[in-house]
Structures are given as structure tokens and as C-alpha cells.
Amino acid sequence: NAGVTQTPKFRILKIGQSMTLQCAQDMNHNYMYWYRQDPGMGLKLIYYSVGAGITDKGEVPNGYNVSRSTTEDFPLRLELAAPSQTSVYFCASSNKGNTEAFFGQGTRLTVV
């Protein structure tokens, strides 16, 4: 019963490097989300998707890209890493609007 799986758990990037944060869910959920968590700021929505092939921007999308080619996977791409992207990233999924979101364990990213 895996739920939402995020990889990697930790990563250090140099400024200007790129990487993809992976997220997979096995609950057949239509909705998937990417959040970043910074101390004292709560969770900010980066991007979300309501189904395969459909994505939309959240509150803080600049510097990130997403794709949703399958129901299960929702990768988050950082093209040119910047120190401001140092954060903890959470992926989540839900079935529909009135149900709760299930969260992965997070990816701690440091950009130096």
C-alpha cells in the first residue's frame, strides 16, 4: 500500500543545474499537486493537475515545470536551479474535491 511516493528524499544542486522531482501515486487519483514548504510560510501550491494531460499553475509556478502524461505520475522539473528554490517539496494526490489529499514524505532540496 504505497500511496504517494516521492524520489529522491534529499538532493543538493548547484546553481544553474536542473533536476526532476519524481512523484507517483497508486490510488488512481485524478488530482495531483506539488507544494513547497518554507519555514513559517506554510505550503505554497506550485502546480496542480486534475487529470492526465491537464495541468495548471498554482501560487508560485515561476522556475518550475510539470507534465502529466499518466494518471500515476506527476514529475516536477527545475530547469535552472536558484538558491530561492531551496525548500522542502511535497507531492499530494486526491480523488475529488471533497476528499482529503494524501501526501508523500517530501524531497528536501538545497541549492548552493
Question: Could you tell me the smallest distance in angstroms from the CB atom of residue 59 to other proteins?
Answer: 8
**How would you label 33-58 residue by residue, b for 16+ Cβ within 10 Å and e otherwise?**
bbbbeeeeeebebbbbbeebeebeeb
The only residue of 29, 31, 87, 109 in contact with other proteins, by rule CB under 8 A = 31
Cβ(51)–Cβ(29) under 8 Å? no
Least distance CB 48 / other proteins (angstroms): 6
Cell representation of residue 85: 528554490
Q: Is 33 in the site for other proteins (CB under 8 A)?
A: yes
CB of 102 to other proteins, least distance (A): 8
Tell me if 52 contacts other proteins by CB under 8 A: no
Rounded Cα gap, residues 51 and 49, in angstroms: 6
Interface residue list for other proteins (CB under 8 A): 4, 31, 33, 35, 40-45, 48, 50, 56, 58, 90, 92, 94, 97-98, 100-106
